[in-house]
């Protein structure tokens, strides 16, 4: 791997991993906002209004950083991956342009009304703006995941030209959009986003409950977010297994790496935890013998293609990395199901908010969906290597020809510096908003400790 390639890959991985913190949060939070404001319009209960206004401010902070770091991604395709851009412009470019025109425009225009329109438009129009912003972010994710899914499982195209001049041409637009993995991967990503957003609400609310502040608001928000989280974590089990089926069928090398399965054609085990020694081609750990074969073929003896059945130059090299990220994602998914179901049970028994240790767990739980989303993405992207478009274009052939290593290094240092600073500021301001809490207009719903000074001045 030459330096331009290595540095460009690091830069892309770093900038997209950082970006991927924010859009899932705003998608999940957007849905929670729709529920909160909808409940306010229906019940006219001030608590829901104050909750909505509070979470809108946090939403704005997250959304702002998401947009700023997202524009970087759009331009990086051209700056660092010019050959890739030319190769997939017909397809990836179309999806990206469609995202801009059908989703991002909707989000951004109505975000202004969501943030600043409280006294300018009627409550109904404001609610409509909230719904449109949430919908916009959901559509955004759709086009982006479609574009990425096409790279995973290309379809509806033909290749024109040869060598460095080759490019993929759309032959069937809808086959390109609904390629074999689009729906499965989109639902998986979308639900991951709902988990990220709802667990942020759960974490902050649990913290207020522990501190005995804004109890009424915190409990109301907790209930809303707990339902979103519980339904989502159960649904994630389903979309996760659907995604795995698609990988099995279309990306055998990735599947083999996910389970550390080397043998050419043999029944494959399923690991709960483990370690892959890629050198000796050995995987050790706690496993269900024949588990993967059973899952894929409903027969624990059925053979599954291992990494050795794939040409060495076409195999992902970071097998243990893919294995670990994949298993961490599953472990977190299972934890979330257990946690939310147990909490619903406690809610039903009316003991949930009195169980301090559980509230402590929820304060920290915000990290779990974030980690799961990140490692899930790593599994998908690293598992696809050495291809940038699976089976068609190698990552090493996708680079910009005009760019020098020292330029990429300079930009990488610049982005690292800015993103570290940005993340620090984000946490600082988020913490500040949480410490401040919702602005309570009607004081007899709250304990005297509630603060009433307005945020902005």
Partner 1 sequence: MDTVLGIDLPTWWFLLIGALISGYGILDGFDLGAGALHLFFRKEESRRIALNAIGPVWDGNEVWLVIGAGSLFAAFPLVYGTILSVFYLPFILFLVAIIFRAISIEFRSKEKMKWWRKLWDISFCVSSIAISMLLGLILGNLIQGIPLNANHEFVGRLRDFFNPYALLVAITVLSLFMMHGAMYLIMKTEDRIFARLTIIANNTSKFFILCFMATSLATLIYVPHMTAIFKDYPELFVLPIGAVLIVLNIRRSIEKRQYRRGFVSSSVTTALLLILFAMGLYPNLVLSNIDPKGHISIYEAASSDGSLRTMLLFAFIGMPLVGMYTVFMFWTFRGKVKLEEHSY
Q: Which of residues 123-162 bind partner 1 (CB under 8 A)?
A: 160
Least separation in angstroms between residue 22's CB and partner 1 is: 12
Binding to partner 1, residues 168-197 (CB under 8 A)? 169-171, 173
- Which CB atom, from 138 or from 332, has the smaller least distance to partner 1? 138
Do residues 225 and 32 lie in contact, with contact meaning Cβ atoms separated by under 8 Å? yes
Measured in whole angstroms, the distance separating CA 11 from the mean position of its chain's CA atoms is: 19
**Angle formed by the axes of helices 182-211 and 356-365, to 10°?**
130
- Which CB atom, from 73 or from 334, has the smaller least distance to partner 1? 73
Q: Which residue has the tokens 């750990």?
A: 285
Which parts of 165-318 fold into alpha helices (H)?
A: 173-177, 182-211, 215-250, 252-258, 291-297
* C-alpha torsion 202→208→209→215, nearest 10: -110
Least separation in angstroms between residue 115's CB and partner 1 is: 7
Binding to partner 1, residues 387-406 (CB under 8 A)? 400-403
Least separation in angstroms between residue 171's CB and partner 1 is: 7
| Half-sphere exposure of residue 450: CA atoms within 13 angstroms, side-chain side | 22
- Which CB atom, from 53 or from 223, has the smaller least distance to partner 1? 53
- Other residues' Cβ atoms within 10 Å of the Cβ of residue 419: 19
Residue 316 has φ and ψ, to the nearest 5°, of -65, 140
Which window, 164-172, 261-269, 349-357, 442-450, contacts partner 1 (CB under 8 A)?
Answer: 164-172
Binding to partner 1, residues 2-61 (CB under 8 A)? 60-61
- Which CB atom, from 105 or from 273, has the smaller least distance to partner 1? 105
- Which CB atom, from 60 or from 215, has the smaller least distance to partner 1? 60
Quick one: which of 95, 3, 391, 336 has its CA closest to 199?
336
Least separation in angstroms between residue 417's CB and partner 1 is: 10
- Which CB atom, from 121 or from 231, has the smaller least distance to partner 1? 121
Q: In a 3-state reduction of DSSP, which class is residue 158?
A: strand
Residues in contact with 271: Cβ distance below 8 Å, sequence separation at least 6, in sequence order: 259, 260, 283, 285, 286, 287, 288, 323, 327
Least separation in angstroms between residue 123's CB and partner 1 is: 14
- Which CB atom, from 26 or from 248, has the smaller least distance to partner 1? 26
What x-and-dash track marks residues 349-388 binding partner 1 by CB under 8 A?
----------------------------------------
Residue 304 has φ and ψ, to the nearest 5°, of -130, 140
Binding to partner 1, residues 417-456 (CB under 8 A)? 418, 422, 425, 429, 432, 454-456
Which window, 215-223, 311-319, 321-329, 413-421, contacts partner 1 (CB under 8 A)?
Answer: 413-421
Number of residues that bind partner 1 (CB under 8 A): 76
Least separation in angstroms between residue 20's CB and partner 1 is: 16
Least separation in angstroms between residue 245's CB and partner 1 is: 30
Binding to partner 1, residues 84-123 (CB under 8 A)? 84-94, 96-102, 104-106, 108-113, 115-121
Least separation in angstroms between residue 110's CB and partner 1 is: 7
Binding to partner 1, residues 58-77 (CB under 8 A)? 60-61, 64-65, 67-69, 71-72, 74-75, 77
Q: Looking at the DSSP assignment, which residues form a beta bridge with residue 270?
A: 288
Q: How would you classify residue 441: left for phi > 0, otherwise alpha for psi between -120 and 50, otherwise beta?
A: alpha
The CA distance from 454 to 157, in Å, is 56
- Which CB atom, from 378 or from 419, has the smaller least distance to partner 1? 419
- Which CB atom, from 169 or from 367, has the smaller least distance to partner 1? 169
Least separation in angstroms between residue 456's CB and partner 1 is: 6
The CA distance from 337 to 226, in Å, is 11
Least separation in angstroms between residue 118's CB and partner 1 is: 6
Residues in contact with 278: Cβ distance below 8 Å, sequence separation at least 6, in sequence order: 317, 319, 320
Quick one: which of 241, 244, 93 has its CA closest to 176?
93
Which parts of 383-439 fold into alpha helices (H)?
A: 405-436
């Amino acid at each position: 791997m030459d330096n331009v390639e290595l540095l460009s890959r690091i830069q892309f991985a770093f900038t997209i991993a950082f970006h991927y913190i924010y859009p899932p949060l705003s998608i999940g939070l957007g849905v929670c906002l729709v529920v909160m404001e909808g409940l306010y319009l229906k019940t006219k209960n001030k608590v829901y209004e104050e909750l909505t206004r509070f979470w809108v401010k946090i939403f704005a902070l997250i959304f702002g950083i998401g947009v700023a770091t997202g524009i970087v991604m759009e331009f990086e395709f051209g700056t660092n991956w010019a050959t890739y851009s030319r190769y997939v412009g017909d397809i990836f470019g179309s999806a990206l342009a469609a995202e801009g025109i059908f989703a991002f425009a909707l989000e951004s225009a109505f975000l202004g009304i969501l943030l600043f329109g409280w006294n300018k438009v009627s409550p109904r129009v404001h609610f409509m703006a909230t719904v449109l912003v949430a919908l916009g972010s959901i559509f955004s994710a759709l086009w982006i995941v479609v574009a990425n899914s096409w790279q995973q499982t290309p379809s509806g195209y033909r290749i024109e030209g040869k060598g460095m001049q080759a490019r993929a041409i759309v032959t069937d637009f809808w086959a390109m959009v609904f390629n074999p993995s689009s729906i499965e991967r989109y639902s998986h990503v979308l639900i991951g986003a709902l988990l990220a957003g709802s667990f942020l609400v759960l974490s902050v609310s649990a913290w207020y409950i522990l501190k005995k502040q804004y109890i009424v608001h915190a409990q109301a928000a907790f209930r809303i977010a707990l339902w979103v989280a519980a339904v989502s974590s159960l649904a994630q089990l389903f979309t996760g297994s659907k995604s795995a089926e698609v990988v099995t069928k279309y990306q055998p090398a990735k599947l083999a790496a996910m389970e550390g399965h080397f043998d050419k054609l043999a029944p494959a085990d399923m690991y709960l935890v483990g370690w892959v020694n890629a050198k000796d081609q050995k995987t050790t750990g706690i496993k269900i013998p024949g588990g993967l074969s059973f899952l894929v073929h409903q027969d624990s003896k059925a053979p599954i293609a291992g990494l050795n059945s794939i040409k060495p130059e076409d195999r992902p090299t970071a097998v243990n990395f893919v294995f670990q990220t994949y298993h961490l994602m599953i472990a977190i998914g299972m934890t979330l199901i257990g946690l939310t179901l147990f909490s619903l049970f406690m809610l039903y028994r009316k003991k949930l908010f009195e169980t301090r240790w559980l509230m402590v767990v929820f304060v920290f739980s915000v990290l779990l969906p974030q980690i799961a989303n990140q490692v899930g993405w790593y599994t998908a992207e690293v598992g696809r290597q050495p291809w940038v478009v699976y089976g068609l274009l190698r990552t090493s052939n996708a680079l910009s020809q005009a760019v020098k290593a020292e330029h990429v290094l300079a930009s990488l240092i610049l982005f690292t510096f800015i993103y570290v600073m940005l993340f620090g500021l984000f946490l600082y301001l988020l913490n500040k908003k949480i410490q401040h809490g919702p602005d309570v207009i009607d004081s007899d719903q709250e304990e005297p400790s509630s603060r009433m000074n307005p945020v902005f001045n």
